[in-house]
Structure 1
């Protein structure tokens, strides 16, 4: 049986994967030259920089998952948003982010 800390760690890992996928999607759009189909050309630099921010946030989520899994309490501001205890709600929330990624990669 998983503890609540381990369940929270799994949620952080899922969030990290989603953030990494968004960053990879931006890189994919840049490499294929189709970024201009999604954003204004003047914003290309900012979108490319946002991919770096997404990767940095994904690394932070992995670090938080590792701490939660090992039971390390971080001296934070107590501003974490715990996931819903409902599995159906969690699937719905994560699918809101996964659906655009799936549509983008499968186009």
Structure 2
């Protein structure tokens, strides 16, 4: 397995975790009854449906990671782009998405 494949797998898994965490956070807010404190009550149904979309996208990212692990690379379709090779840039980008989730669950 090449370094590029390992990096792609790690990026797909990080994205899967972040998307799944957003979905679980929405479910958590619905279960605790505090969703109305974050969104307009008229939009509550749309936010609940968005959790399904987040879970579906997380499953797709998991599938992409497993496909990459098995050796299938979607380079032929040119439907993916390479993440930044910089660790600091990736940390900042993923941190921007992970920070609200961490703060939401912490409070």
Normalised TM-score (structure 1): 0.93
Q: Which structure 2 residue ranges, 5 or more long, are not aligned?
A: none
Aligned-residue offset at 1:2 = 5.3
Contact 2:26–2:51 (CA<8 Å) still a contact in 1?
yes
Aligned-residue offset at 1:77 = 3.8
Give 3-state SS (helix, strand or coil) of 1:85's partner: coil
Which structure dedicates a bigger proportion of its chain to helix? 2
Q: Which structure 1 residue ranges, 5 or more long, are not aligned?
A: none
Counterpart CA distance in 1 for 2:30 and 2:88 is: 35
Counterpart CA distance in 1 for 2:76 and 2:32 is: 40
Alignment correspondent of 1:28:
28
Number of aligned residue pairs: give it: 107
Normalised TM-score (structure 2): 0.93
